[in-house]
Amino acid sequence: MGFEAFPGAGPIKLAGQETSPVFEFSVPDEAQEMFLRVVALWRDNEPLGGQAPTFKIRAGRGDFVSVGPDSGDVSISSGTIEVGSVRCQRHQHDVFLLTVSRLVENSGPWKIRITNNDSETLRFLGFSSHRDQETLQPWLVLGDPSAFGSGVLRFVGAQTRSMELRNWGTAPLMFGEAAGAPLGGDGSPVVLVSRPDRVSPHDVGQLKMSTSDVLAVTRRFVHVLRCNDTFTSHGRLNIDVEPPSTHEPFPESSEFFCRRGCGCLEYLPSTPQGGPCERGICGHSAASHHPI
């Protein structure tokens, strides 16, 4: 890949007036310019459009210099030597492009940090490259990122299920699978029902899948969605397919849910004496289901 993401693990959350840690970005020796494109995320499907952040850039042992959309060109020095200049442009949908020009070779390491000037908490994700176009990168998030086990979709018997597709990047997400395509490789009964053609930055789409065949035993299938997010791990979908339950359905609520985090809502003994929970997603002991 000809770009770097910062932070590499995904967006960093900054409260109003909070400043991020320092992130380092690589500048190739041959680079004439560097580009850093940063998205400020607020709510699903809704950019905030509030106060622009302040970006602080540092080269070598020089001081951090501050730049924003109204700053014009700002000189960057390392010691007493000018090693470049930076300007910031605000684009649509709370995307900010920093252009570092007049670069001097071997003037690094180069670093950046971000201050959120808005009163709202925002999440920031950036991409750096010496090619402008390579900072236009989608960032796929499968399911609800705040939910436990959000990367797993569970089918019991013949069902149709949906999963959310979020784009936290700086460019639209584009998908490749056609409706009716099998998902999960050999033996998988799961097929794609529908998916969006594209999901713009900030936005959320829906992936819809179905099963028609009923399996005799529980199986897990893995599928990597075909899309233009170059981080293939982002598109990894874990699909659990279970036979229909022959037991009573889960209660709507219970204090005897499994504390091991498997999703079992109530203990079902496998023997008259107790034993591990018989529910297909569980298999944990009775003690794991009792209130602490």
Pairwise CA distance, residues 150 & 105, whole Å: 45
Return all residues near 229 (Cβ < 8 A) that are at least 6 apart.
137, 138, 139, 140, 169, 173, 235
Query: In this structure, are strands 160-167 and 274-277 parallel, antiparallel, or unpaired?
Result: unpaired
Whether residues 8 and 124 share a domain: the answer is yes
Q: Can you tell me which residue has the tokens 């997010």?
A: 229
- pLDDT of 148 higher than 80: no
Q: For residue 257, what pLDDT is reported? A: 81
Instruction: Return the pLDDT at 216.
Output: 80
**DSSP β-bridge partners for residue 146:** none
Share of the chain above pLDDT 90, in %: 68
Q: Which CATH number goes with the domain that contains 18?
A: 2.60.120.380
Answer yes or no: is pLDDT of 168 > 90.
yes
How many distinct helices (H) and strands (E) make up the chain? 0, 22
Residues 56 and 62 sit within 8 Å (Cβ to Cβ): no
CATH number of the structural domain spanning residue 171 = 2.60.40.10
Q: Are residues 167 and 96 in the same domain?
A: no
For residue 178, CA distances in Å to 32, 175, 197, 229 come to: 42, 9, 10, 17
Residues 29 and 90 in one domain: yes
Q: Do 227 and 278 fall within a single domain? A: no
How high is the pLDDT of residue 147?
A: 67
CA–CA distance, 200 with 166 (Å, rounded to integer): 9
Cis peptide bond prior to 53, omega within 30° of 0: no
For residue 231, what are the domain limits?
A: 141-242
Asked whether residue 176 falls in the same domain as residue 215, the answer is yes
**226: three-class secondary structure by DSSP:** coil
- 288 pLDDT above the threshold of 90: no
Give the end of a domain, one of 84, 113, 136: 136
Tens-digit pLDDT profile for residues 1-21: 589 999 999 999 999 999 999
Is the distance from CB of 171 to CB of 136 less than 8 angstroms? yes
Q: Supply the pTM of this predicted model.
A: 0.81
> What's residue 245's pLDDT?
65
Is the torsion defined by CA of 59, 65, 67, 72 positive or negative?
negative
User: What is the Cα–Cα distance from 215 to 185, expressed in whole angstroms?
Assistant: 15
Query: Hey, what are 140's tokens?
Result: 């796929």
Span 277-287, pLDDT tens digits: 877 778 888 88
Can you give the pLDDT at residue 222? 93
Paired tokens of 73 = 């060109």
Among the candidates 136, 160, 181, a domain finishes at: 136
10-61 pLDDT, tens digit per residue, is: 999 999 999 999 999 999 988 999 999 999 999 999 999 999 999 999 999 9
Max Cα separation, the chain?
81
Mean pLDDT over residues 213-222, rounded?
Answer: 84
Q: What average pLDDT is seen over the chain?
A: 90
Q: What is the pLDDT of residues 223-276, one digit of tens each?
A: 999 999 999 999 999 999 988 766 555 555 677 788 877 778 888 887 777 888
Q: What is the pLDDT of residue 203?
A: 97
**Three-state SS at 114:** strand
C-alpha distances out from residue 120 to 16, 50, 93, Å: 5, 9, 16
Are 68 and 9 contained in the same domain?
A: yes
Q: Is the pLDDT of residue 76 over 90?
A: yes
Number of domains comprising the chain:
3
Domain endpoint, select from 88, 119, 136: 136
